[in-house]
Amino acid sequence: MENISLPVLSSENVLDYFPANPIKEPFADAWNYMTNNYTKFQIATWGSLIVHELVYFMACLPGITFQFLPFMQRFKIQANRPETFNGQWKCFKLLMFNHFCIQLPLIAGTYVFTEYFNIPYGWDEMPAWYNLALRVFGCAVIEDTWHYFMHAALHDRRIYKHIHKVHHHFQSPFGMTAEYAHPAETLILGMGFFWGILLLANHVVLLWAWVIVRLFETIDVHSGYYLPYLNVFHLFPFYAGAKFHDFHHYNFTGNYGSTFTWWDKLFGTDKQFKEYYAKIDGKNKKLH
Ligand SMILES: [Zn+2]
Ligand SMILES: [Zn+2]
């Protein structure tokens, strides 16, 4: 029987309707320069460290700037609790310890991981952007699930004071507090980041794409500012966002999910959050 082909349905043809990617060529040049001049170990370790540090502080920059702009204060969620220099400095010191003493050894392990599973580094093996985007989404779903259950467990009264209390030092969070945590928490909740990679990595670029998305997301939810219209993450239904996680820091219980709201909806752990905002919205309606 003759093989019937359906050219209209093939992904290449569908993608013909999209405009060409203007950054593809400079990105390919930069990527090839990197793979031609550095070893896999250097790329996996120092490359990943640079991506993590650069993206972390870049994502924190808007929030750091907002505290000096009176106009932005209308978007601050806990307006009565402004950031202080002392708080930011305290946060920065622990971050540096966590980044270089806890996360760097873990990052070095990514080289062993890519070698063991034969994860490619080359430009020619790089997956298409839509393939990568789907995998990053998969990583986010897996991480959020792990985070929900582990985070709720860390709130258990018997262990809360030993580990998770550190992250809750800031009742009104700001961007930098995203990774302000006890080293044990960095390891426990950090594992959620790696499960997706273990299951879905098909190229080293996925590690970086996923770390970039995850950092922007966690810094957004800790930013303390709610900016729904300037935030691409709000295009996703079920995205938790700053209001959702800020309430967790304010209230200590409920809202355990990291990226999505579905687990909290399913188990009713967003009840207090919903009641709180229903009250505020009711008060606002009376005023108008
Ligand atoms: Zn918590
Ligand atoms: Zn938090």
The alpha carbon of 17 and the centre of ligand 1 are apart by a number of angstroms equal to 45
Mean per-residue pLDDT, 36-47: 96
The alpha carbon of 24 and the centre of ligand 2 are apart by a number of angstroms equal to 35
The alpha carbon of 249 and the centre of ligand 2 are apart by a number of angstroms equal to 6
Mean per-residue pLDDT, 20-42: 92
Contacts of 113 (CB under 8 A, 6+ apart): 119, 197, 198, 201
Nearest ligand to the C-alpha of residue 155? 1
Answer yes or no: are the C-beta atoms of 221 and 234 closer than 8 Å: no
pLDDT digits 0-9 by tens, 205-215: 999 999 999 99
Q: For residue 222, is pLDDT > 90?
A: yes
Q: For residue 275, is pLDDT > 50?
A: yes
User: Tokens 């699930």 appear where?
Assistant: 145
> Quick one: angle between helices 183-200 and 104-116, nearest 10?
20
What is the model's pLDDT at position 96? Answer: 96
pLDDT digits 0-9 by tens, 161-207: 999 999 999 999 999 999 999 999 999 999 999 999 999 999 999 99
The alpha carbon of 171 and the centre of ligand 1 are apart by a number of angstroms equal to 10
What is the model's pLDDT at position 20? Answer: 74
Q: For residue 32, is pLDDT > 50?
A: yes
The alpha carbon of 151 and the centre of ligand 1 are apart by a number of angstroms equal to 6
Count of Cβ atoms closer than 10 Å to residue 260 Cβ: 21
The alpha carbon of 149 and the centre of ligand 2 are apart by a number of angstroms equal to 14
What is the model's pLDDT at position 10? Answer: 54
Q: For residue 91, is pLDDT > 80?
A: yes
The alpha carbon of 116 and the centre of ligand 2 are apart by a number of angstroms equal to 33
Joined together, the tokens standing for residue 37 give: 């001049």
> What average pLDDT is seen over the chain?
91
Q: For residue 105, is pLDDT > 80?
A: yes
Closest CA to 78 of 212, 223, 267: 223
pLDDT digits 0-9 by tens, 110-158: 899 999 999 999 999 999 999 999 999 999 999 999 999 999 999 999 9
Nearest ligand to the C-alpha of residue 219? 2
The alpha carbon of 250 and the centre of ligand 1 are apart by a number of angstroms equal to 10
Distance CA 100, CA 56 (A): 13
Q: What are phi and psi of 20, to 5 degrees?
A: -65, 145
Amino acid letter, residue 222: H
Answer yes or no: are the C-beta atoms of 192 and 150 closer than 8 Å: yes
The alpha carbon of 125 and the centre of ligand 2 are apart by a number of angstroms equal to 37
The alpha carbon of 167 and the centre of ligand 2 are apart by a number of angstroms equal to 6
The alpha carbon of 228 and the centre of ligand 2 are apart by a number of angstroms equal to 19
**Which has more pLDDT, 230 or 217?**
217
User: Tokens 């966690």 appear where?
Assistant: 218
Q: How far apart are the first and last CA of the chain?
A: 72
The alpha carbon of 65 and the centre of ligand 2 are apart by a number of angstroms equal to 20
What is the model's pLDDT at position 228? Answer: 77
What is the model's pLDDT at position 1? Answer: 46
The alpha carbon of 84 and the centre of ligand 1 are apart by a number of angstroms equal to 21
For the chain, the C-alpha Rg in angstroms (whole number) is: 21
Closest CA to 129 of 48, 18, 35, 2: 18
Q: For residue 2, is pLDDT > 90?
A: no
